[in-house]
Structure 1
């Protein structure tokens, strides 16, 4: 198949705090998909790769990165493994990365958008975060930043161990998780079993998925300690040049604590929706579907990160709107 048209290999990142059930979930996925050839990158913080002996059925496709975290100290090693897998792409159908319990998944995801060789072979399908329903509140109190980062970056939040708590606690945990990340799909389960979601086919970075999810998000804010989500909607179109310049400055110059941005934008003189998403300071614009001629062209954008000032963001976004439309021209 021609290199320009070949199908990319989907990538699933499994994250979650220590003891949340990540390796159990990984085993479930392998067991339930016997026809899929997996490559597994396993990150453990200790020097000895214990989890390799716990993962069942992956054969020789396990790559252990130990004594460090792939979101930071082992990020270079992760890049080396990914480039090695590029040459082995015919040997597997899906790549799964299980991060250490103290990893920021944004640093892992960035590896797939910062290297052109890796980017041409792999495609992020989604990041799933295991949440221990019995201990989330305690975890956030003790390790707020790391656990909250994992929840904030996820495309799907899997509330695990719900059999250990009553329904009121499950509802409260779900509310906390959604207050940190209103964008993610939330599913409850026990023993790392979750119904009604295909974890290998989230298509979280596809334009259709982003369009569908942002359709239900309106102007609102959620705060959980230092972590916040800020959502905005605008009826007037954006000036494309101004918006892109501001986003570049925001993510490359002023980037302090922005974990993720996703949006469906109306650029002046554009007939298609423009899909915007960022991973750390890497970002991409892509063309979505045509705007409905019978509906308003409402831009919606969601920011998730630390200490995001809603008024400042709103003022900056307003400054990127097309002035002629604001003047009624």
Structure 2
């Protein structure tokens, strides 16, 4: 097996910039390159893989999380599995969710020893929606971060913008990132050589733009280290801000900074696994991602059994004081941690931006659908950053694929349903979305 590192391109851009369109063009061209694709979706239901054309390339999907914080372990796991089939591909393309800060994604290729040994970050390519980017820059932090961190900027949808305004936009973008190469495109028509094989990422430049670049992001906020003898313990939590809290308990060789960070990297991978939902009274399993159910009022107690004496680190999604988290021995004596650490995320997403996923069986009346979408976009289009999905239209043999950005909407017939069960999947991403109204509106379109 070749010892040459596998080049990786990170493809980013705000919601609706055209990443999937570009990806489809790359996968459909006869360029002779073998590309493995990793997708990350922001949404309740995963549909992006279904929007990507059928291709020989291998496509992996990570759903329901931000690739820059909660599923970094998933990215590490998939890259590890990919490398076992090194002879099957030449490049890896990581398409991030439109709400991701690309910095922590790039960071994975330097912070994880196995990934760093096997893969090389080739470059960060950011698609910019020329039609809507100025509005996005005025209201979201992520769009600015994506532009500032790019090695290559592709101004997409140039056919929707007047030339003079496009020149002004390019000057604004150049002011945010003077080092990136800028290319113009419409409908994602970009030469593959501008996306892969760039040898463009420069760690020193990344550190100059963001000195904290090599400070890792973690999906937890607090860890406490306890010196425990073998025996039975009780983890106790009071009412807090959330109805559940994720936690991982791992053994540590010491309580110093190095050991805490090594434990954190181990927990990143464990947090990427599906959590074991644990009710009060049920035991917390060590070295397992557990989700403590905290809906019952009052104090919740979870047993913890330690088989071997030593140091145990609790890595929790929230700060301990938010739930008055404490650990007692079998006799009820309160135990104090011998060390504590706060893991503060460098970025936070806008809590008003959410996703609404709708999955409904049955066929849709096309006229009702058109009327509903027209009214919805006219009234709420400014708050709908992105919408996408598949529709089963009554009397049509092909599924209908649609995508939208703010007031712009595009739909077309796609592959035939064939033997697949007909149905509808829609995702809306935006600010202050009304789930009940969206679902009721769509259900009213059913034939």
Q: Normalising TM by the smaller chain, what interval?
A: 0.5 to 0.7
RMSD: 2.7
Match of 1:201 in 2: 197
Q: CA deviation at 1:59?
A: 3.7
Of 261, 264, 269, 2:208 maps to 261
Is 1:179 the counterpart of 2:112 in the alignment?
A: no
In terms of mean alpha carbon deviation, does 195-204 or 170-179 score higher?
195-204
Give the equivalent residue in structure 2 for 1:95. 92
Summarize the alignment of residues 77-156 of structure 1 with structure 2, pairs less than 5 Å apart: 77-143=74-140, 145-156=141-152
Task: Tell me what 2:214 maps to.
Answer: 281
Deviation at 1:196, TM superposition (A): 9.4
Larger of the two Rg values belongs to structure: 2
Alpha-carbon distance between aligned partners in 1 of 2:87 and 2:201, rounded to the nearest angstrom:
23
Q: What SS does the aligned partner of 1:149 have?
A: helix
Relative to structure 1, the CA distance from residue 153 to residue 279 in structure 2 (aligned partners, 3 Å threshold; closer, same or farther) is farther
Q: Shift of the alpha carbon at 1:177?
A: 0.9
Counterpart position of 2:441: none
Per the alignment, in what secondary structure is the counterpart of residue 200 of structure 1? coil
Alpha-carbon deviation of 1:57?
3.9
Distance 2:114 2:33 in 1: 23
Instruction: From 153, 157, 161, give the equivalent of 1:157.
Output: 153
- CA displacement 1:124-149 (0-9 Å, x = unmatched): 11110000111111011111x11000
Which structure: greater helix fraction? Answer: 1
Q: Deviations over 1:63-119 (max 9, x none)?
A: 110011111111121111112222222221110010000000111111111112111
- Deviations along 1:182-208, whole A, 9 cap, x unmatched? 11000111001135953112110379x
Q: Which moved more, 1:119-128 or 1:197-206?
A: 197-206
> How far apart in 2 are the matches of 1:196 and 1:89?
21
Match of 1:18 in 2: 15
Q: Matched residues in 1 for 2:74 and 2:195: separation?
A: 26
Shift of residue 278, structure 1, vs aligned partner: 7.1
Matched length? 218
In the TM superposition, residue 47 of structure 1 has moved relative to its aligned partner by 3.2
Shift of 1:30: 1.4
Q: List alignment gaps of at least 5 residues for structure 1.
A: 215-258, 263-276, 284-304, 307-329
Q: Distance in 1 between matches of 2:202 and 2:12?
A: 20
Structure 1 residue 33: deviation in Å?
4.4
CA distance in 2, matches of 1:91, 1:195: 23
Could you say if the C-alpha distance between residues 197 and 94 of structure 1 is closer, same or farther in structure 2, counting changes exceeding 3 Å?
Answer: closer
Number of the residue aligned with 2:225: none
* Contact 2:9-2:94 within 8 A present in 1 as well: yes
Q: Is the 8 A contact 1:261 1:279 kept in 2?
A: no
CA contact (8 A) 1:40 1:58 kept: no
Q: Is the 1:159–1:187 contact (alpha carbons within 8 Å) kept by the matching residues of 2?
A: yes
* Structure 1 residues 195 and 67: alpha-carbon distance in aligned structure 2, compared to 1, 3 A threshold: closer
Structure 2: runs of 5+ lacking an equivalent: 217-345, 348-447
Q: 2:32 maps to which residue? A: 35
Match of 1:170 in 2: 166
Runs of 4+ in 1 over 6 A off after TM superposition: none
Contact 1:69 / 1:103 at 8 angstroms: preserved in 2?
A: yes
Q: Secondary structure at the match of 1:190?
A: coil
Q: Is the 8 A contact 1:160 1:190 kept in 2?
A: yes
CA distance in structure 1 between the aligned counterparts of 2:71 and 2:192, rounded to whole angstroms: 34
Check conservation: 2:22, 2:190, Cα contact below 8 A.
Answer: no
Q: Which residue of structure 1 aligns with residue 63 of structure 2?
A: 66
TM score, norm. by length of structure 1? 0.61
| Residue of structure 1 in register with 2:50 after alignment | 53
Residues 133-174 of structure 1, C-alpha deviation per residue, up to 9 Å, x if partnerless?
Answer: 11111011111x110000011100000011111111111111
Per the normalisation by structure 2, the TM-score is 0.45
| CA deviation after TM superposition for structure 1 residue 20, in Å | 0.4
